[in-house]
Chains A and B, each alone.
Chain A
Amino acid sequence: MSADVRADGPAREAAGVATRASAANGGPLLDVRDLCVEFQTRKGVARVLEGVSFALGPGETLGLVGESGCGKSMTALAIMRLIPDPPGRITSGEVVFDGQDLLKLDDATMRDVRGNRVSMIFQEPMTSLNPVFTVGEQIAEAVRLHQRLERRAAHERAVEMLEAVGIPAARRRVDEYPHQFSGGMRQRVMIAMALACNPGVLIADEPTTALDVTVQAQIFDLISDLRDRTGASVVLITHDMGAVAEMTDRVAVMYAGRIVEEGSVEEVLEEPLHPYTQGLIACAPGRRTAARGEPLEEIPGTVPSLLERRGGCAFADRCKHVQPRCRELQPAELRIAGGRRRVVCWLFADGGAR
């Protein structure tokens, strides 16, 4: 691949300087603090996110894992401020990106952040491209939303980006329509659009869920590769524990709108603390279970409805180690290893011993 993804206009350089300045302070690039999101439904208020906090350093990759419906995508949408309002609403919290609280920005400034400094790719590549425009027009449009670029220059940039995401014969295919691309190719185009302005953070919301298994690894490789070349931080939302192990530096495990465990990828995968994390890892088809021909483990039950939440730990009904107090009180957060590792479970609240 020959295209230089870094090659860019002056607007981008200014942003790059700002990003580096914040990184030099040693602070995180993206700092989500105590984010709460509510949805107004006919049956009442659903508290979709409850006090979600995590930090993402420059160039770091955070894996956000958990079952469907536990708030992973909501976290991503809340960071981008794309939660449909009404019925959804961010009730409290901060999303500090590069020293700015995104939740306090006015709409015009926020639009300039989206796609330019924080980008997102969605799970459905088949329907995420506008069918009436060529992929080149759409990538060029993504660039021209944020940079003053001639039509021709934007088109060149589109070709460059298509080459960067590994689409063969990019110069010809840039003028083709989305329906002429396969699912994996379309996801590559989506990645090209998301990275066209060299954002500081890329949020990938289950980027491979809708794709063929053989293509999934390619897309993960592509994201890692582009991350390494552009220095972007990545929030990877996924079910794929293999991808988490391979791609991420840190992992946050979500359950019912909360982060129940967070730590470095080695810590969390090697020595999961929260019973839910243990269950998730046991569910993943690993080499050992497959060799023995045993059925995969499962976590009994399903994620509880967010509407009928009682006090106590949301995982209590499905937990092997449930204690009486689990059902009464929300467990406190235990921070270990200088706060870089944390777990929310009564098992560890009394000093970390199991």
Chain B
Amino acid sequence: MNAPRSDAAANASPHPEFEALSPSKEAWRVFRRNKAALLGLCLLSLVVLTMIVGPTLYPVGAFDLMGAPFTEPFTDAKVWLGTDYLGRDILAGMVVGGRATVTVGLSAALITVTIGILVGALAGYFGGWVDEGLMRVTELFQVLPSLLFAMVLVTLFSPSLLVVTIAIGAVSWTSTARLARAEFMRLRKLEYVSAARALGAGNVRLMLREILPNALPPLIVSATLIIGVAILFEAGLSFLGLSDPNVMSWGMMIGANRRNILECWWGVTFPGIAIFVTVLSVSLIGDGLNDAFNPRLHQR
């Protein structure tokens, strides 16, 4: 131990294969091997890319009347995917509509996860009456039919994207809360949490630094799946006409064209495919993350 050593000697690992792999790097390594998850990642990248640069490359107003109503797809080069009952360009709606849908989906999932982790962490960490109280509130939200509750929220306030986002977040945080609570209850009893407490860490630090990073893997997985659910939820609300009427979204396109579904199949099919692909890609990613974070499945 007293032997003088150069820095080079200290840095040269005797076992290069045992390089320090952080848990996130390790997870990425496993994720990368999952073909389906990679496909999901590619699809989602495509969707997000379309959302970002699509409107610049295809600058057609989604509400503008671009041709005769009910133009069939692939017949008119000007409106490639056809037009709806008002003559609005379906492709323009597809390109722009993803923005609202995915943005609402993402923000709603963010709200969901934030509320869920906050409630679950407090309940699981402190236990006792805090747990009792918070879990009763959670159950209250769980027994409400979520779509109806969200509809009530949206109709009570103006149907703007913000309200829709909050409404979705408000009805779907319960499962995350229960998951976070279970993780916090399990982890708070572990030795390294006691050890950190013995080193002088306070409750907030224990929750944020010792427990939360270890509780994150299942929460990330569930958050990914919640994005999918939230996208579907937004589409559902728009379909019912309970979204901002001034913002084009895939759900709204389906809702608007549902009356003409027999004579104008393309009006609902293309936005439907868009929603399907987006949700599928998110689910595939969630599945891949689940495998990556779950050490028991590493051997597969």
Contact = CB atoms under 8 A, between A and B. Distances in A.
Nearest to A142: B199
B11 interface: yes
A50 interface: no
A282 interface: no
B7 interface: yes
B16 to A, nearest CB: 12
A169 interface: yes
A248 interface: no
Interface string A155-199: 000000001001011111001110010000000001001100000
B200 A115 contact: yes
A111 B202 CA distance: 7
A120 interface: yes
A179 to B, nearest CB: 9
Given A168-B1, A171-B10, A131 B23 contact: yes
Given A171-B11, A177-B22, A132 B214 contact: yes
Interface residues of A, number: 43
Nearest to B197: A82
Contact of B192 (A129, A171, A177, A180): A129
A111 B128 CA distance: 22
Contacts of B22: 132, 134, 177
A177 B21 contact: yes
B206 to A, nearest CB: 10
Contacts of B198: 80, 82, 114-115, 119-120, 122
Given A127-B191, A132-B214, A180-B20, A2 B2 contact: yes
A115 B200 CA distance: 5
A113 B178 CA distance: 35
B13 interface: yes
Contacts of A132: 22-23, 213-214
A145 interface: yes
Interface string A1-38: 11000000000000000000000000000000000000
Majority-rule SS of B interface residues: helix
B20 A145 contact: no
A130 interface: yes
A215 to B, nearest CB: 16
Contacts of A2: 2
B287 to A, nearest CB: 22
A151 to B, nearest CB: 14
A113 B190 CA distance: 22
Interface string A124-158: 10011111111000000110011000000000000
Contact of B210 (A130, A169, A170, A171): A130
A111 B201 contact: yes
A266 interface: no
Given A2-B2, A122-B191, A112 B200 contact: yes
Contacts of B202: 107-108, 111
Interface string B184-209: 00000011101111111110010001
A116 interface: yes
A194 B199 contact: yes
Contacts of A130: 192, 196, 210, 213-214
B123 to A, nearest CB: 17
Per CB-CB distance, the 3 closest pairs between chain A and chain B, nearest first, are A115-B199, A115-B200, A114-B200
6 contacts: A80-B198, A111-B200, A131-B214, A134-B20, A142-B199, A171-B10
Interface of B: 1-2, 5, 7, 9-11, 13, 18, 20-23, 128, 190-192, 194-202, 205, 209-210, 213-214
Interface of A: 1-2, 80, 82, 86, 107-108, 111-116, 119-120, 122, 124, 127-134, 141-142, 145-146, 163, 166, 168-172, 175-177, 180, 190, 193-194
